[in-house]
Amino acid sequence: MSDIKSRGYANADKLVSTDWVAAHLNDDHVRIIESNEDPLLYPSGHIPGAVEVDWVKDLNDPLRRDYLDKAGFDSLASRIGISPATTVIFYGDKSNWWATYALWVFELFGHTNAKIMDGGRLKWAEEGREFTREKPAITPSNYDAPARDDSQIRAFRDGVLAHIQAGGQLVDVRSPGEFSGETLHMPGYPQEGAVRGGHIPGASSCPWSRAANDDGTFKNATELRAIYLDELGLNPEEPTVAYCRIGERSSHTWFVLTNLLGFGDVRNYDGSWTEWGNSVGLPIEK
């Protein structure tokens, strides 16, 4: 934790180190949660005591293009044995982009006692720490969450349209090819999901991965300010919207701007390019 505290973040308490996690594996007040893009990783080996939260099966409504509702979140939180007082620690693959996505969804339900393990699976593995295939024995709880609050950290299409018409700050965190309209997804992925390529007018291009080091940890505050404030010219005092293709990569940037740089009003537009690029009548740029 001392290394994290020294990096100059606005809210360093939202990150914990692998050392901290290793020291709290048997802490009854802590629940470690693995969230990955690749569903085969958790069963192949995970941090001892960690439970899995699958971004498709656990966080999304099976019929609507939306997240789970209060009843669904209560069921999920009860199944993984947490209470509102439990400190939840998220980690995963892809430099924690799915971990930040899961954390963002938990915060929609008011569970703000949530942190990211800096470096995710990669750092834990590179340090030679233990993985297990054994699933923990969890005593279910009886979680009663508040209704999901989409008003503070989530953006919707019409709100984004009004935001750009007012000249608001907008960050496109996809790859340069997606931003230019040459592709519809990152290299190595099926090029599908939208009928048009390009970006939302007025958006600045800053791929999410620029905020991460090679070992999956976050860059320090000085490096992050050089990217988002000096290079992109973002004002931490002004409302900011981040988007990608479906909202998962932009949750990583939302976490960086909100917790590491202290921006006061950042919203993740989870509809992102799959909604914007398929909507009739919405403007795009290439």
Q: Is the pLDDT of residue 55 over 60?
A: yes
- Whether the per-residue pLDDT at 1 is higher than 60: the answer is no
Measured in whole angstroms, the distance separating CA 170 from the mean position of its chain's CA atoms is: 17
Task: State pTM to two decimals.
Answer: 0.97
The stretch 20-30 carries a mean pLDDT of 97
From 116, 244, 246, 260, active-site residue: 244
Q: What are 61-82's pLDDT values in tens digits?
A: 988 889 999 999 999 999 999 9
What SS3 class is residue 5? helix
The interaxial angle of helices 97-108 and 248-255, nearest 10 deg, is: 80
Rounded to whole angstroms, how far apart are CA atoms 214 and 116? 17
Whether pLDDT at 60 is above 70: yes
Q: Which residue's structure tokens are 């009886």?
A: 142
- What is the pLDDT confidence band of residue 185, given thresholds at 50, 70 and 90? confident
pLDDT (0 to 100) of residue 2: 60
Domains of the chain with CATH codes? 2-126 (3.40.250.10), 154-276 (3.40.250.10)
Query: pLDDT over 70 for what percent of the chain?
Result: 99
206 in active site = no
The span from the CA of 207 to the CA of 234, in Å, is 15
- Look up residue 234 and give its amino acid: L
